[in-house]
Structure 1
């Protein structure tokens, strides 16, 4: 704890300086799982990238003290040493504890435990004034609730206390094939009511084919004929491809999966988005090529390449949580207007909306519910990730139509993704008065607002002049060249978020 306290003291000094000099600043974590255009000024940041340690795990209390930049795979590995597990583990190993708490982070256990922020018991926060406070349900509750989905706009998160649960060696998975969007949504909700379920998600492979995947923690299989299945080794099949092959069998099937293979089952190939890279580079998409190129298709490498290449401008990459009754209507809209498949489905608990910043209540109708009570039921998240080759104008139009449908159906976007709303539209969805009141109360006005964080930006290289700027624009205007450039930069590692220092 001594090293942690020294690091926090430095952060307090930095934030106090910015506060006293009335200098706007941002919090720098050293990595990101966002697809928004992001670039930090070295002279206007508080760098917390070194806060990446697990400070303690208490097996008796089933709690852990964790710094915000601890990634999921490290947290799972260390808690597993004492037979414990985070209740909600985001599917990409590099997603951090802090990102899970102040961002929007849910997974297949969120129908049961809520979003990741619901597993946090207390948070240590350096306010923008330099004051150090602890927020929880018992102390500074308004701040504690406000931190959910705040994206670093209320203070600098430096530590959380979180709860853990008993771990099992395996997850016993059952795949339930479905033959329509409606059937998939119905099955998804039915399974959330079934006793003994620990994990539930689903994949729509087309309008007429999908699979709902349910899981329970287990140390042994329920019967001797349940096979063992792996997903983490280079020669293992990607999870979604395996799930698709099972779905075409048309009857439920069960298998036993090691716990870490299950938790990070979507890491290889970043769900299915890695498939598009094979097509982009004109490489056959086969099990052999997936094995040979495995290094490049883990999410840490893929995110780096995605940002550097500029390919976030060529894809629809969005997650949206809908009142459950409206989810099918949105899936139909995506089918008719974008034709993007697969789609990811994930059921969420009733408190999902309250974990997504400070949204206004949805006043519209929800199919199957009384119109006056639209905010009381469960939610279903739909992940839409796929290429959308088009002109810049058409790409903008398509994303704007996407967002209009989201608003009409009461959906809330996960804000790792690009936002195309106007500022006026944004504050029709989120409660500006509540957001600004909290920021005033906790002296956070030198930090960016949520709108400042998420609004779409022109990439910095587009503003550069001279040969260097021209070369970058030339590379990024060519799909193939930009792809190779992204891979090259990802292989080299290094920081891709901070502006380069000038002489």
Structure 2
């Protein structure tokens, strides 16, 4: 199944020609995948003013091989689309990020985690090969065996090395439904002990947690099942994160489990007055609920946000080494004090090459806890919580995604991220700097 490979080749040739046309113009360039961006909207973000390279047509699945459990697809395919197609074969991607509109290419270029990450890492860890159009307009393929540095540096490059045009990745077996258990705890130590035990035993397909407050912890454990005695839905009137306090178990279809956070965009819908009430959801939910709708509305408000000069809310993922998570959480509960907090155990098989050796040594663990902070207000002129949380994460030997506001000086940034590896990949793929550098792109706003 899939598209004619010649149609893909035609699109790649068009993109390569467009990039060659940009060489030497000395003007900012950005990759335009179409749809909504999952970068956090920032007031007056100048990245939107750069000239686009249109890759919006790269939205096709090229092939699915059920026997080898391998899929080849273009980067603009969303996880909602790929799950629907692969599930017909009893297969799904190894890691399925929680928002329907996240694309395969976005998951590689940025960050991709979910409740299988305690065993399988991120989506990028399941990838086998990438096809890239370089800043020279050349088509390059890379893998673990062929150009391994380029292969590993594409992850976390945020579109600054080249245009990802095709990717090949592994699939894993799946079943139609997921049975969920919600185990509640009042003490952090008990919650941590159970989460660690379950991760070590690997006796559940899915493990994540929702911390509703300093004394309210829920460990969410999931297993694939063939049959379900009932099915819950959190697509419209009901709210998933609240259900974890109300129910001890639940059954969802496999797609509804994967995208259980999508309707609220985790819990960002609560920032809109009345949007968590059933009457408002009944009347307006189809138009405004869901990550794509909510992000689109946020983008429309960008000019207003810039006008009043309000800092954006804190929305970012912070990866803290497991052994430092108790210390981090003690600080978080006392000083940061924002709930719910989504926590996802994450296994990093080895430090990624884009992490500097100096910082990798500070990590000291292959297991991390991703602390997903979504929506803390940040308008107090006395304290910038985005900067405070960034500094605390690095103090704990952790690392953060770059999808939101970043506060490093250039020297600080390159003590955490590997300058030598990044520059080697840049020289190989984009020696004439058609694309912005990683630091420059991700630090254009304070």
TM value normalised by structure 2: 0.90
User: 1:175, 1:350 → 2: CA distance?
Assistant: 26
Which protein is bigger by CA-based radius of gyration?
A: 1
Tell me which of 87, 98, 101 is aligned to 2:105.
98
Query: Are residues 1:254 and 2:249 paired?
Result: yes
- The corresponding residue for 1:409 is 396
| Counterpart among 410, 414, 423 of residue 423 in structure 1 | 410
Asked if structure 2 preserves the Cα contact closer than 8 Å seen for 1:36 and 1:454, the reply is no
* Distance (whole Å) between structure 2 residues aligned to residue 438 and residue 115 of structure 1: 21
- Offset of 1:22 from its aligned partner? 5.3
CA gap of 1:275–1:284, structure 2 versus 1, over 3 A, is closer
Q: Deviations over 1:354-382 (max 9, x none)?
A: 28x434443777xxxxxxxx433311101
Q: 2:430 aligns with which of 424, 443, 446?
A: 443
Is 1:68 matched up with 2:75?
yes
Q: CA deviation at 1:170?
A: 0.8
**Are 2:206 and 2:222, in contact at CA under 8 Å, matched by a contact in 1?**
yes
Q: Is the alpha carbon distance of 1:390 and 1:39 closer, same or farther for their aligned partners in structure 2, counting shifts above 3 Å? A: closer
Q: Distance in 1 between the 2:202 and 2:398 partners? A: 28
From the superposition, tell whether residues 43 and 381 of structure 1 become closer, same or farther in structure 2 (CA, over 3 Å). Answer: closer
Q: Distance in 1 between matches of 2:144 and 2:71?
A: 17
Tell me by how many angstroms 1:333 deviates: 2.0
Backbone CA RMSD of aligned residues: 2.2
2 CA distance for matches of 1:150 and 1:409?
A: 23
Deviations 1:391-447 (A, max 9, x none): 4x3353x32222221110012111222212222322222122321122112234321
Equivalences for residues 119-268 of structure 1 within 5 A: 119-220=126-227, 227-235=229-237, 237-246=238-247, 253-268=248-263
Using the TM superposition, give the Cα deviation of residue 112 of structure 1 relative to its aligned residue in structure 2, in angstroms. 1.4
Q: 1:183 to 1:287 in 2, by over 3 A?
A: farther
Distance 1:412 1:194, change over 3 A: same
How many pairs are equivalent?
431
- Deviation of 1:234 after TM superposition, in Å, equals 2.0
Equivalent residue number for residue 328 of structure 1: 326
Deviation per CA, 1:137-171, whole angstroms, max 9, x where unpaired?
A: 12111110111111111111000011112220111
Name the SS for the 2:150 alignment partner: helix
Q: CA deviation at 1:352?
A: 7.0
Divergent runs of 4+, >4 A: 20-24, 38-43
Gaps of 5+ in 2: none
Q: 2: CA distance between counterparts of 1:358 and 1:389?
A: 28
Aligned pairs for 1:14-93 (under 5 A) are: 14-21=18-25, 23-30=27-34, 31-37=36-42, 38-40=45-47, 44-93=51-100
Match of 1:313 in 2: 311
- Structure 2 counterpart of 1:432: 419
* 2:278 is the counterpart of 1:287: yes
Identify which of 345, 348, 358 aligns with 2:355: 358
Q: Distance in 1 between matches of 2:152 and 2:257?
A: 30
Q: Following the alignment from structure 1 to structure 2, what is the Cα–Cα distance between the partners of residues 287 and 267? A: 17
| 8 A Cα contact 1:92 1:264, kept in partner | yes
In 1, the alpha carbon distance for the partners of 2:50 and 2:154 equals 25
The 1-side partners of 2:66 and 2:388 are apart by: 49
Aligned mates of 1:395, 1:298 — CA distance in 2: 31
Residue in structure 1 matched with residue 293 of structure 2 by the alignment: 301
Task: Compare 155-164 and 74-83 and name the one that shifted more.
Answer: 74-83
- Counterparts of 1:453-468 in structure 2, within 5 Å, are 453-457=441-445
Q: Which runs of 5+ in 1 are unaligned?
A: 222-226, 247-252, 366-373, 459-503
State the match for 1:400 in structure 2.
387
Contact 1:202 1:212 in 2 (8 A): yes
